[in-house]
Structure 1
């Protein structure tokens, strides 16, 4: 995927793109709290028929952090709208992984016009309704460890938990590499959002566009039972990603790509993409 940047009124927004000949439909990929745009490269190999746009969320990579020290998912959605508008995207499927699912939900709530469908992958649902002590614990649980341990030690300790028990060493290295790019400021802002906001504030009922919940069947961060409960609450279809942990699109990219293709292809007229690999 090609590394690119777009200068917005709010600052530089960085992203990766897998370009395709027109009229390839667009999937917009929103990474989780400990990741970045580069984490989607393995999945991109399995989606040859789609234009893929993967952002580095504000405060990640070289993307400018949000101005608010205590942002909500709606603040990330506002930047997402500026970026998609700047790229001239008229219609896309949003794929939000983990914390990215909260951003996708907030975007759909405020800017539904560009959205053909939404995939909530291994979704984080937030702790906005938890007591103050729990919210403070969640907020401080990641970025303070990064500051104390340093990037290398933090990544070595944390990365394996995002994958299945017998993950490929190359996949563990991929997750570690993305964690090595984290910036404390952006990481802390994202941690605040996770601790003090919640997906249910944006998706309180069945979404107005087609939506799908997927989850790795070995996810230890956002367990499958929680993802299934979310799908049941919203009246949405649910799909397991076999032999996959939290970063299910890294552990099982072919199965994840098949789930995306099965969901997205009908939304773009049924002839959007050649057979996935």
Structure 2
């Protein structure tokens, strides 16, 4: 290998990619205003579970977990605006509520009434914004490895630092460079080669402009403003990987305590818990479904 040649990492198993095409194929829907939303769907009957990915991922990343749910549920994972083939938002510095409005448009276009919305990382912030204003509330809400945002008063310096670090890394390393270092941050030291290659494969598909928009949202919004407005009757749970170094168990536990919500830890999982421990996360998701739907 030449000195400056980037390392070559193993690709995901061929059977995984074939399952992505056959059982979790991409579809698109047009929402009000003409924007396109790309999403993946598995299963044809049962309760509707809507999966929202985080800042460094996409709809396809949910495949290992979604495939375990599809026999009992209709599973829908979107590509957030600016990700995959989904139209970016018009705002240069969008809020979580802007993503939530696009999510509402997708669910309205698909005529889906979610039994459960699951938001991971930045997707948890989007999910919280959705339930704060939704026309059609889900029956339950599950927030995994919660990115809480840096938009609250007093966090200005931290927000600026996080934005500078993330955008500088994108400009310096590019999407491919971010993808190569992704597993070290998003997975625990226990993660196998399959989980590592899946994280890289999905990160390699990031759209730089969509990522920049998401960074602006992360640094300009705050989950408390949405969770404080969620309907009191909406059952809500928080969970986190026991080895998560991004949205740590301590941070997720503090959020859960602040809003008097139950907290669960997923053993032997880092930040991307639904990739590293797909079976355990699928069990957690099933347990979060309404009893009549589970």
- With structure 2 as the length reference, what TM-score do the two structures score? 0.87
Distance 1:207 1:244 in 2: 30
Residue 168 (structure 1) aligned with residue 207 (structure 2): no
Deviates more, 1:129-138 or 1:207-216: 129-138
Partner residue, 1:5: 28
Distance 1:205 1:238 in 2: 20
Structure 2: gaps spanning 5 or more residues: 1-23
2:66 to 30, 34, 44: 44
What does 1:54-93 align with in structure 2 at a 5 Å threshold? 54-93=77-116
Structure 1: gaps spanning 5 or more residues: none
Distance 1:155 1:110 in 2: 34
Distance 2:51 2:167 in 1: 23
Q: Conserved in 2, the CA contact under 8 Å of 1:205 and 1:234?
A: no
**Structure 1 pair 152–258 and aligned structure 2 pair: CA distance change class (3 A):** same
Distance 1:125 1:70 in 2: 17
Deviates more, 1:24-33 or 1:207-216: 207-216
Alpha-carbon RMSD: 1.5
**Structure 1 pair 125–204 and aligned structure 2 pair: CA distance change class (3 A):** same
Query: Per-residue CA shift, 1:16-68, capped at 9, x if unaligned?
Result: 000323xx100100000000001000001221201110000000001000000
Partner residue, 1:239: 264
Partner residue, 1:183: 207
Moved over 4 A (4+): none
Distance 1:262 1:176 in 2: 29
- Give the Å deviation of 1:160: 2.1
Q: Number of residues paired by the alignment?
A: 267
Residue 133 (structure 1) aligned with residue 157 (structure 2): yes
Residue 19 (structure 1) aligned with residue 40 (structure 2): no
1:222 to 216, 240, 247: 247
Give SS of 1:119's match: strand
Partner residue, 2:19: none
Q: Conserved in 1, the CA contact under 8 Å of 2:182 and 2:199?
A: no
Partner residue, 2:55: 33
Partner residue, 1:212: 237
Distance 1:3 1:206 in 2: 31
Deviates more, 1:6-15 or 1:25-34: 6-15
**Structure 1 pair 155–84 and aligned structure 2 pair: CA distance change class (3 A):** same
- With structure 1 as the length reference, what TM-score do the two structures score? 0.92
Query: Per-residue CA shift, 1:90-131, capped at 9, x if unaligned?
Result: 233110000001000000001053311110100010111244
Q: Conserved in 2, the CA contact under 8 Å of 1:147 and 1:184?
A: no
Distance 1:184 1:114 in 2: 32
Residue 262 (structure 1) aligned with residue 287 (structure 2): yes
